[in-house]
Structure 1
Amino acid sequence: MHLKKARYPRYARYVFLAGFLLLASASFAKTMVYVSNADSRDIYVMELQPDGSATMVEQVATGGTVMPLAVSPDHHVLYASLRSLPYSVSSFAINRQSGKLDLLSTVPLADNMANLSTDKSGKFLLAASYTGNKISINRIGKDGAVEAPAQTVIATREKAHAIATDPANTHLFASNLGGDIILQYKFDAHSGQVTPNDPPYVETRSGAGPRHFVFDRHARFVYCTNELDGTLNTYAYDAAAGTLKLLSTVSLLPKGFKGDALAPADLHLTPDGRFLYASERTSSTLSGFAVDPDSGALTLVGSFPTETQPRGFNIDPSGRYLLAVGQKSNHMSSYAIDQKSGELHLLHQYEMGKNPNWVEIIDLQ
């Protein structure tokens, strides 16, 4: 395990003050970072320090091509999708003091799953298959381990890519990148059963390719990256009906970029909902937007160079730091998020395993 770090003294004062304030808080929780490395078949476990640096805790072998990760709502279990045969999911107990991982089980999934999440109760694992054109729902046992086989498997249009329930846990959504739709279901949180909503989906622009989506914290808006046309959609969310309505579309094309077609991937909101960031893999940039709290409208903050082919990134629970990994650089960069402007300032860079692609960051509970 090697974590080579590059320091950037220009922002040392900012980082020191931020770290001092966090350390002074009696309620400061240990913050853990989990990075899946597909080709080295392992998960890096790190602790995020108050200054935005990361220290290695352990390297966990997975025995398969590990890609998407998900964390239980209580932060007690980490789930890892293994996208090499046999397609499966590993459940790891998270040590509440150290953040280390202890394997609970590895069980089959219905297909090669490109995305995982749990429902808001933590009783069901939701998965979407890009290559298998389906979504699935598995029960989660009392010990936090996923149970097999799946209780529900649903065929979708081509290339299902992301799946999640809304904040109220009453509706479920799944993007279909090849079908240019986001599926809309009613979700029974007791049984885990889903039924098509009315309407059963919302369409994107033809050829857009909806990929990842995220709800704002008040469940009024949903944001979704479109992989094939290089854009990001904003939807109004009717929480009672469980339906989406397109409000606007913005481009993720960096100013002056003249390379190949864009390929947006991940997106995350800061915990306070003030800023939204999206990764773009062709230009290897992170686009930042200020979010209007009333309309949900996005105003570009800037496009920031990052690791080569940034498939995955995440924001820490304090909203102070963003960590991004590059599939082709095999590195991770940490950034300070300017709390006034939303601009990103590079702090540190670390060596990762081969093909790092997913980042989860949690406070231990």
Structure 2
Amino acid sequence: MNRKTLTAMSAGLALTIGAASAQAATYVYVSNADDGIISSYTLDRERGLLEPLAKTPAGGEVMPMALSPDHHHLYAALRDTPRQVVSYRLDASSGALSRQGTGALPASMANIDVDPSGHTLFAASYGDDLLSVSPIDARGVVGDAQKTLPTGRRAHAMHASPDGRFAYATNLGDDQLVQYRFDADTGHLTPLAPASVATPSQTGPRHFVFSSDGRFVYVLGEFSGAVTTYAYDAQSGQLTALGTATGIPADSGLIRGMAREDIPAGDDTPRIWAADIHTTPDGRHVYISERTRSRISAFAADPETGRLTFLRTTKVEKQPRGFNIDPSGRFMVVSGQLDDDIGLYRITPQSGELTRIGEAPTGKNANWVEIVSFDDRGD
């Protein structure tokens, strides 16, 4: 073999290695409440494969999770006693989770999230009708909750606006969102005037997301399976309702839902039981999950008006409480509370259609999904 050939081969190998290292490492984390573990996976986006990594003990009934803005920490709330949130350091090279500490929570929390500065963790308690604010220190560890706010009935989710100036929470029992001005330096929340905005009657507002450009808020009704779009005013923080689109086909055989604890004993009427909502990074599609029929519904989103148009539903894992979309917008991972596997779906960019391409085993009562990608720099 002459020197020229050897040089060419070396250059080719270097290019191959460089290309491989430049590809993003993508990790998936799923909380399994009944096992008390967080299952982790690698998502090979080139081959469209989910590969199990580890099972990390959480120490209790682990359910809602949230990522830090820099994606180097994962937070998981335990809904049994003692009520607490566990902080994990996330290794960008391996996806491994290292437990760093715990912070006390005042109640069982249905949802947690981190503000854009990464300094504050919000939590919403369905059973205790309250919201809480916890500090996050310089190491990325959540401390004990420092502030507790009474709110309307059955609080379900709390998130900051993308600019970090305001915060909102759903009250499923009162058909409203409460709205606050948020001070990221102190963690203080000040009610806006008005202090709440209504959702359509008897819809049970549950989870909500901001559009990718931050101009709109999409709120999912647990009882209606419909999504209401609100315009977000970045100056005042006020939300203005623009319209509602249903994600439940007329032939579904489902009637309007109600809070599970309010359903009479022995009543097995098929009711709408919507759960989660996410949008693709390009903002073109919004998806919701419905647990009774085990389906994901897709909407097309108008980037100018925020208007949603229902497209189709797709059969997925049994009782899909949680799902998420990877940062590339090409894949969706769905967890079913009554399923032994999580499902991997490819998203067709133009149509938003879902195609099931794989699966991986998970634990019992899988419910929350977080997905994070790192490039070769660990960013």
1:305 correspondence with 2:300: no
CA contact (8 A) 2:125 2:154 kept: yes
Deviation per CA, 1:184-203: give whole Å up to 9, x if none: 00001111101001111101
Cα distance in 2 for residues equivalent to 1:87 and 1:318:
34
Cα distance in 2 for residues equivalent to 1:25 and 1:273:
28
Deviation per CA, 1:217-252: give whole Å up to 9, x if none: 222111010012232111111111101111111112
User: CA shift at 1:93, angstroms?
Assistant: 0.5
Higher mean displacement: 253-262 or 122-131: 253-262
Please name the residue that 2:57 is paired with: 61
Cα distance in 2 for residues equivalent to 1:38 and 1:299:
34
1:146 correspondence with 2:156: no
User: CA shift at 1:25, angstroms?
Assistant: 7.4
CA contact (8 A) 2:52 2:360 kept: no
CA contact (8 A) 1:71 1:78 kept: yes
Please name the residue that 2:214 is paired with: 219
Question: Could you tell me which amino acid in structure 2 is paired with residue 170 of structure 1?
Answer: R
User: CA shift at 1:310, angstroms?
Assistant: 0.5
Please name the residue that 1:185 is paired with: 180
Number of residues paired by the alignment? 342
TM-score normalized with structure 1 length: 0.91
Q: How does 1:324-363 map to 2 (within 5 A)?
A: 324-363=334-373
Q: How does 1:3-152 map to 2 (within 5 A)?
A: 27-50=22-45, 51-148=47-144, 150-152=145-147
Cα distance in 2 for residues equivalent to 1:262 and 1:116:
24
Question: Could you tell me which amino acid in structure 2 is paired with residue 268 of structure 1?
Answer: H
User: CA shift at 1:270, angstroms?
Assistant: 0.5
Cα distance in 1 for residues equivalent to 2:201 and 2:350:
37
Question: Could you tell me which amino acid in structure 2 is paired with residue 231 of structure 1?
Answer: A
Cα distance in 1 for residues equivalent to 2:92 and 2:332:
23
CA contact (8 A) 1:234 1:297 kept: yes
Question: Is there any run of 5+ residues in structure 2 with no aligned partner, and where?
Answer: 1-17, 255-269
Deviation per CA, 1:38-86: give whole Å up to 9, x if none: 0011000111002221111111011100000000000111000000111
Please name the residue that 2:332 is paired with: 322
Please name the residue that 1:280 is paired with: 290
User: CA shift at 1:300, angstroms?
Assistant: 1.9
Cα distance in 2 for residues equivalent to 1:110 and 1:183:
20
User: CA shift at 1:88, angstroms?
Assistant: 0.7
Question: Could you tell me which amino acid in structure 1 is paired with residue 124 of structure 2?
Answer: A
Cα distance in 2 for residues equivalent to 1:52 and 1:210:
34
User: CA shift at 1:26, angstroms?
Assistant: 6.1
Cα distance in 2 for residues equivalent to 1:249 and 1:173:
19
Please name the residue that 2:243 is paired with: 248
TM-score normalized with structure 2 length: 0.88
Q: 1:268 aligns with which of 278, 298, 301?
A: 278
Q: After the TM superposition, which parts of structure 1 deviate over 3 Å for at least 4 consecutive aligned residues? A: 23-27
CA contact (8 A) 2:319 2:337 kept: yes
Q: CA RMSD in A?
A: 1.3
- Give the secondary structure class of the aligned counterpart of 1:256: helix
CA contact (8 A) 2:331 2:347 kept: yes
1:296 correspondence with 2:306: yes
Change (3 A) 1:25 1:254: farther
CA contact (8 A) 1:252 1:264 kept: no
Question: Is there any run of 5+ residues in structure 1 with no aligned partner, and where?
Answer: 1-22
Please name the residue that 1:210 is paired with: 205
User: CA shift at 1:253, angstroms?
Assistant: 1.2
Identity of aligned residues (%): 44
